[in-house]
Amino acid sequence: MNMNILEKTDFKNLGEKYTGKVRDVYKQADKVIMISTDRYSAFDRNLALIPSKGQVLTGVSKFWFEQTKDIVPNHVLDFPDPNVVVGKKCKVLPVEVVPRAYMTGVTGTSLWTLYQKGMRDFGDFTLPDGMHKNQKLEKVVLTPTTKHETHDRPLSSKDIIYGGYMTKDQWEKVADISLKLFKRGQEVALSKGLILVDCKYEFGITEKGEMILIDEIHTPDSSRYWQAATYEKRIAGGLEPENFDKEFLRLWFKENCDPYKDEVLPEAPAEMVEELSRRYIQIYEQITGDTFKIETGDIEKRIENNLKKYTIK
């Protein structure tokens, strides 16, 4: 197993650095350099380092940006390295759009969680009584949430417009594009034997006023995928769908410590880390149809070399 991993970067002369959960972002006057590390985060902290994860996220996004650029332009200027995307700098819209095709989820903002608590009216759509977990919705719904707040809050289209998050025109455009992107995502995923269950999109406005898709798209970190071949049978049998599951590591931490309160966390078991890395690589290969090339050597050195042309003199 290649244990060559990228925990963090600290490049000088690439611009102002911002550290996200998974990415290190360097901001320049007209562009942003986004480096995907191998950090695995949950409970608002870094739990483990998963070999090849950053490379998978970048490669999967690259595949999907290509597949969808006829629907909406995106922020991509260059992929100078397997872990890096250089994107156009823009004004980021403060809402994440989450299209959902199935009744599922475990987090506080997920449909199934809210539905179980008795919620039926979600602002822009109403769900009937008697639905069960992992059931397909009659039509795809959009469940936007706030971005940049400590905890994401669900928003309705009225909240977005009257709350001043976006103008009515912007929201209508974002909603329309999101549904088209998701439909394309579902079609392409199905041709690869996968069901795209839900995902999140982020948008920005360029200096010229053009709306573009930013961040990442349809990656295993921002989307839920189920294996299509076994879905019907497993649901009929009362089982969970066969999914790309990264929850098992999260659950291990929940069982072995208090990830919200403990100052020092136990180290993730090596075999779990290896298994998760294998799953990331497998989903990359299933989505893109390409064989994953594990990069050897010093990742940080390689990235530094590949980003030489972007250093600020």
pLDDT at 295 over 60: yes
pLDDT digits (tens, 9 = 90+) for 11-27: 999 999 999 999 999 99
Q: Is 292 exposed, middle or buried (0-12, 13-18, 19+ CB in 10 A)?
A: middle
pLDDT at 4 over 70: yes
Q: Is 150 exposed, middle or buried (0-12, 13-18, 19+ CB in 10 A)?
A: exposed
Strand intervals (E) in 97-193? 99-103, 135-142, 145-146
**Averaged pLDDT, 253-273:** 95
Both structure tokens of 227: 């294996």
pLDDT, averaged across the chain: 95
The confidence score (pLDDT) of residue 126 equals 97
**CATH assignment of 16-91+248-310, among 3.40.50.1370, 3.90.230.10, 2.40.160.40, 3.30.200.20:** 3.30.200.20
In whole angstroms, give the CA distance from residue 182 to residue 175.
11
Cα 36 to Cα 58, 159, 279, 303: the distances in Å are 7, 32, 17, 11
Both structure tokens of 127: 């769900």
Would you list the DSSP string of 56-68?
HHHHHHHHHHHHH
**CATH assignment of 92-236, among 2.40.50.100, 3.30.470.20, 2.170.120.40, 3.40.50.2000:** 3.30.470.20
pLDDT digits (tens, 9 = 90+) for 63-113: 999 999 999 999 999 999 999 999 999 999 999 999 999 999 887 788 999
Domain ranges of the chain: 16-91+248-310, 92-236
In whole angstroms, give the CA distance from residue 225 to residue 25.
27
The confidence score (pLDDT) of residue 139 equals 97
pLDDT digits (tens, 9 = 90+) for 200-253: 999 999 999 999 999 999 999 999 999 999 999 999 999 999 998 888 999 899
Q: Check if the beta carbon of residue 311 is closer than 8 Å to that of residue 13.
A: yes
pTM attached to this predicted model? 0.95
Question: Which positions ≥6 away from 35 have C-beta within 8 Å?
Answer: 6, 9, 23, 24, 25, 26, 54, 83, 84, 303
In whole angstroms, give the CA distance from residue 208 to residue 57.
29
- The total of other beta-carbon atoms located within 10 Å of residue 271's CB is 9
Please calculate the CA angle 68-243-98 and round it to the nearest 5 degrees: 45
pLDDT at 1 over 50: no
The confidence score (pLDDT) of residue 3 equals 58
In whole angstroms, give the CA distance from residue 135 to residue 181.
22
Task: Write out the H or E segment, with its range, that includes residue 280.
Answer: helix 270-288
